[in-house]
Structure 1
Amino acid sequence: MSALQLLWYKRDLRIADHAPLAGATAAGPVLAVYVHEPEQQHAADRDRRHECVLRDALDELQTALHARGGQLLELHGALPDVFATLHAVLPFTAIWAHEETGNATSYARDRRVRAWAKQAGITMRELPSNGVVRRLASRDGWADTWQQRMRARIVPTPNRILTPPASVTDAAWHALPADLRWAAAPVVAPTWADWQRGGETRAHELLQSFLSARGQDYRRAMSSPNEAPASCSRISTALAFGTLSVRQAYQAARRRARELRDENDGRRELDAAQWTQSLVSFASRLHWHCHFIQKLEDEPRLEYEHYAAIFDGVRPSEPDVERLQAWRDGQTGYPLVDACMRSLRVTGWLTFRMRAMVMSFASYHLWLDWRHTGPILARWFTDYEPGIHWTQCQMQSGTTGINTIRIYNPYKQAEEHDAAGAFVRRWVPELSALSDADLVRPEHTPLMMQQMTGCIIGREYPAPIVHHETAYAFARDRMHAITLAAQRSGSAQRVYDRHGSRRTPLSARTR
């Protein structure tokens, strides 16, 4: 029998389009391993909702591997210590894994594993998992590389996975220290509305329902907190946990576009045009997905440091606790902001525009540093993806130096995207009796009306924690001045050279 290959699963919990699985299977008998790492489990960006999705995915992965003759060993402990102990009882000659752009903890862990493997004489094979390019020298040409990867052949799923005899793996399992052997305790999934479950089957069901029916109005409805939950693809959690690859989603969208062209007989021309627009927007979001992860891949420090040092000290290093708690708890006195935060805490999901708005509000209106608000959102987003999350936190806080400062007006957003107040009434029920007009700025509701509806502003629902016009003007003037200084000092150019999309000149993006 050939030498044993260790297949290390991380955030790539699938069997389809999985290059390490295919490579390990071709090289010899395979032992698939997932390690539950205490350092990750107790990190500031981890929540029980993530554990629920993980459990779903691992259970299905175990079944899928077993059906092909494989098995998944779940271990517990710090890496590379777990691998060293496993290697002592069941020697392996190579570790196969996907490249991963994770948080600072996983970044340091991967470096430790690579160093240990080199010292132990074990081959380490890390393969690309999406459009992110490791050790990228320049952003020039990155978009072409992304297209090449997305259009490359889907990696075939092995029909049969050779594994060591059960007697060997059983003996090795029992030879491991008890604290390394993970015993999966039942995870009770919350009964929250719109709960997002994990697993490869669920991922493909969501993608298929989006491309066949739900996504027709995607381009228009994606910004609405009422319509987006059904009209968006909802595959973001699957992408974050790797139960679906970006390439699978991209190629499925291209197939759907070809079907529409072939099926169009003139009678459904408008429907086909609407679908085409939505599919183009969806594909651009997949590109955007990797574009932002690439930023963190290139500079892992962006999880906890500003793009440019000129933004250091712009906001207080210690947050205003009252403001932070009011924002977190949905008690700011701004109905749409509060509805979004309450909804997110329960469902684990918000459409992108609402995500941008709540981050913008925290950063500009409340003048909170993204390093205090970002971890809260990371724990609540079921689809938390470090590369997207931390770079977006900075972008929506205005600390990149190269992106246009965009301060969302929560009143305007409510008028445009929740005009009838359905979303606010659902998540801020204390305001439900107010008229649509009063629902946008309830503090302007006449006192008699407040008394008649049983919602006294300042008692049943808070008055605005800050004055919109004053906070807006202060943030606008302060951030524009700093951004201009970043351009003049050359720091903005340095950020652009490293991270810019290259689609438009720097001057056009920041003026």
Structure 2
Amino acid sequence: METALWWVRADARLHDNTALVAAAEADELLPVFVVDPRQYGERAYGGQRSFAFQKTGAYRARFRRETIADLRESLDDEGSGLLVREGRPGEVVPEVAAAVDADVVHFQALPAPEEREAARAVVSALGDAGVRTESHWTSTLHHVADLPEGVQGIDDTFTPFRQSVESDSRVREPLPEPELPPTPDLGRLDGGHGAFPTLDDLGLERPEYDDRGVLAFEGGETAGLDRLEAYVWEGDHLRAYKRTRNGLLGADYSSKLSPWLAAGCLSPRYVKREVDRYEAERVANDSTYWLLFELRWRDFMAFQTAKHGGQFFARNGIREREDIDWADPGSDPAAREQFERWKRGETGIPFVDANVRELNATGFMSNRGRQNVASVLANSLRIDWRRGAAYFETQLVDYDPCSNYGNWAYVAGVGNDSRDSAFDVVEQAKRYDEDGEYVRHWLPELRGLPPGYVHEPWKMDPEEQAAYGVVLGEDYPEPMVDLEASDEPFR
């Protein structure tokens, strides 16, 4: 009799799960999810010039809780079960393995330093106890073993990477759901199967759904598969994805698959198979290609994180830039005030404020919004970009360490690609929110402004401010930065 544990990480799904398939070959299988307290509450960023921030906010905590509940229900339906325990994985997983006399532990390999350190602790403790461990790469479209030049050989610029994997790599076929063996006797384990803590237990207020949001994101594999079905097949939105993906309002301007991909509720290989089927049955065009393009950008950030490790998260980034004088909100009162206004969506720059208020109210922000919001903090205000990235880590329902910090570093000019990535925010606002509908949606105080002023209210003279009922400094903030003056080249 062989007993296996499946240590569930960011792979909470039954479909296309290499770790689960391998674990299911045992005679007995116990899936285990560990709630690591280090992922909640106020934590240190780590490294040089560290600072404290809230690790996980309410939106992602709720999504994660729903994800684990859905996984438990799916496992129960298959005659299996899920054990949930709180503590450090390096302590909890070996304790569970000892209690059920496990022979092997299967788990997902992840590229970011925190996740890799957690895995090392588990492997070390299990090794001391004589328990085998097997890691499985399950989070990206392309398998790490199929990279033409390996992780260390990939280019630090996206286009060469994309061209390389498109021409010289392959995407493996997704695996079917396995038949699951019975769970072992849990008689030596106290506390039953356990449950994911409530948001109250985590010190978080349960957020109410804001009907101004683009989608009510519900955690779990079931909801993720439903969303894919609704977007691709029922709504037939994939055929126009490239044209609509920079939208700002509504559920279907983009796929909105990112929360389920980040939590591992959806396999990117399964998404590709659905795209391939859509191309065969309906249409193959630049939109179907572009969804795969975006999945490869996600891959790029994951492999870059694996390549560069902790330097990917350092203030001077993988380019090791020492020529930028970053303002520190921890020691600079002016920077602290600016940062707090940025976090509240009170910069006086409507397109930025609207996006931040959407984030605060829903846990989500469009990709277009993220780039512009990041650019103002990092390029216009020159506030330490990691502060903004950490705030996104707290708030985003679809937070992924590789994509979040990689994209922030890119915009800040310390990450991948050497081009100037500062955004002309007003021009972007006029291009992607031409009539100001999005800004008015999230900034009701500006609803009376015409398109000519909704993105640049500072251009109104006092008489116009009074006429439209938007007095700067009273009804809406004065802009905290002169965007034109701050757009001097930094690189």
Residue 220 of structure 1 pairs with residue 235 of structure 2: no
- Contact 2:143-2:172 within 8 A present in 1 as well: no
Deviation, 1:364, is 1.0
- Contact 1:150-1:247 within 8 A present in 2 as well: no
| TM-score, normalised via structure 2 length | 0.87
Per the alignment, residue 245 of structure 1 pairs with 267
Per the alignment, residue 37 of structure 2 pairs with 38
Match of 2:279 among 257, 260, 270: 257
Per the alignment, residue 11 of structure 1 pairs with 10
Q: Which has the larger radius of gyration?
A: 1
Residue 114 of structure 1 pairs with residue 144 of structure 2: no
State the alpha-carbon separation in 2 of the partners of residues 25 and 312 from structure 1: 53
Deviation, 1:184, is 4.2
Deviation, 1:27, is 2.5
- Contact 1:19-1:127 within 8 A present in 2 as well: yes
Counterparts in 2 of 1:131-280, with a 5 A limit?
A: 131=142, 133=144, 136-139=151-154, 151-164=171-184, 168-169=185-186, 171-174=187-190, 181-182=194-195, 184-185=197-198, 188=206, 190-193=208-211, 194-212=215-233, 213-226=236-249, 229-260=251-282, 272=283, 276-280=285-289
* Structure 1: runs of 5 or more not aligned: 261-271, 481-511
Q: Which has the higher helix share?
A: 1
- Contact 2:35-2:196 within 8 A present in 1 as well: no
Counterparts in 2 of 1:75-94, with a 5 A limit?
A: 75-94=85-104
State the alpha-carbon separation in 2 of the partners of residues 83 and 160 from structure 1: 20
Deviation, 1:439, is 0.9
Deviation, 1:312, is 6.3
- Contact 1:76-1:182 within 8 A present in 2 as well: no
Residue 316 of structure 1 pairs with residue 315 of structure 2: no
| TM-score, normalised via structure 1 length | 0.83
Deviation, 1:367, is 1.0
- SS of 1:230's partner is coil
State the alpha-carbon separation in 1 of the partners of residues 199 and 433 from structure 2: 39
State the alpha-carbon separation in 1 of the partners of residues 40 and 442 from structure 2: 30
State the alpha-carbon separation in 2 of the partners of residues 183 and 400 from structure 1: 36
Per the alignment, residue 83 of structure 2 pairs with 73
Deviation, 1:20, is 1.3
State the alpha-carbon separation in 2 of the partners of residues 30 and 99 from structure 1: 19
Deviation, 1:401, is 6.7
- Contact 1:224-1:417 within 8 A present in 2 as well: yes
Q: Deviation string for 1:33-67 (max 9, x for gaps)?
A: 00001011235431111111111111111111111
- Contact 1:132-1:293 within 8 A present in 2 as well: no
Counterparts in 2 of 1:404-419, with a 5 A limit?
A: 404-419=419-434
- Contact 1:101-1:386 within 8 A present in 2 as well: no
Which deviates further from its counterpart, 337-346 or 402-411?
402-411
Which deviates further from its counterpart, 418-427 or 304-313?
304-313
* Structure 1 residues 142 and 405: alpha-carbon distance in aligned structure 2, compared to 1, 3 A threshold: closer
State the alpha-carbon separation in 1 of the partners of residues 289 and 421 from structure 2: 24
RMSD: 2.3
Per the alignment, residue 266 of structure 1 pairs with none
- SS of 1:8's partner is strand
Residue 124 of structure 1 pairs with residue 139 of structure 2: no
Counterparts in 2 of 1:413-432, with a 5 A limit?
A: 413-432=428-447
- SS of 1:20's partner is helix
Q: What letter corresponds to residue 172 of structure 1 in structure 2? A: R
* Structure 1 residues 338 and 183: alpha-carbon distance in aligned structure 2, compared to 1, 3 A threshold: closer
State the alpha-carbon separation in 1 of the partners of residues 424 and 400 from structure 2: 26
State the alpha-carbon separation in 1 of the partners of residues 440 and 226 from structure 2: 31
Deviation, 1:355, is 0.8
- SS of 1:311's partner is coil
State the alpha-carbon separation in 2 of the partners of residues 146 and 29 from structure 1: 40
- Contact 2:246-2:253 within 8 A present in 1 as well: no
Per the alignment, residue 25 of structure 1 pairs with 24
Per the alignment, residue 450 of structure 1 pairs with 465
Match of 1:339 among 354, 359, 373: 354
* Structure 1 residues 52 and 334: alpha-carbon distance in aligned structure 2, compared to 1, 3 A threshold: same
- Contact 1:359-1:396 within 8 A present in 2 as well: yes
- SS of 1:124's partner is strand
Deviation, 1:246, is 0.7
Residue 384 of structure 1 pairs with residue 407 of structure 2: no
Which deviates further from its counterpart, 233-242 or 203-212?
203-212
State the alpha-carbon separation in 2 of the partners of residues 288 and 402 from structure 1: 13
Which deviates further from its counterpart, 147-156 or 438-447?
147-156
- SS of 1:157's partner is coil
Q: Deviation string for 1:152-203 (max 9, x for gaps)?
A: 2221212343222xxx21x1232x6x9x955644785522233311111111
State the alpha-carbon separation in 2 of the partners of residues 46 and 439 from structure 1: 33
State the alpha-carbon separation in 2 of the partners of residues 73 and 123 from structure 1: 20
Deviation, 1:119, is 1.7
State the alpha-carbon separation in 2 of the partners of residues 185 and 385 from structure 1: 22
Deviation, 1:316, is 2.7
State the alpha-carbon separation in 2 of the partners of residues 155 and 162 from structure 1: 21
Deviation, 1:348, is 1.7
* Structure 1 residues 142 and 402: alpha-carbon distance in aligned structure 2, compared to 1, 3 A threshold: closer
- SS of 1:309's partner is coil
- SS of 2:83's partner is strand
Deviation, 1:84, is 2.8
- SS of 2:434's partner is coil
Deviation, 1:231, is 1.8
Q: What letter corresponds to residue 191 of structure 1 in structure 2? A: Y
Per the alignment, residue 375 of structure 2 pairs with 360
Q: Deviation string for 1:207-242 (max 9, x for gaps)?
A: 122212223321111112135x42211110000000
State the alpha-carbon separation in 1 of the partners of residues 343 and 436 from structure 2: 21
Deviation, 1:150, is 5.9
Q: What letter corresponds to residue 279 of structure 1 in structure 2? A: T
Q: Deviation string for 1:324-375 (max 9, x for gaps)?
A: 1111111111111111111111122222121111101111111111111111
Deviation, 1:447, is 1.8
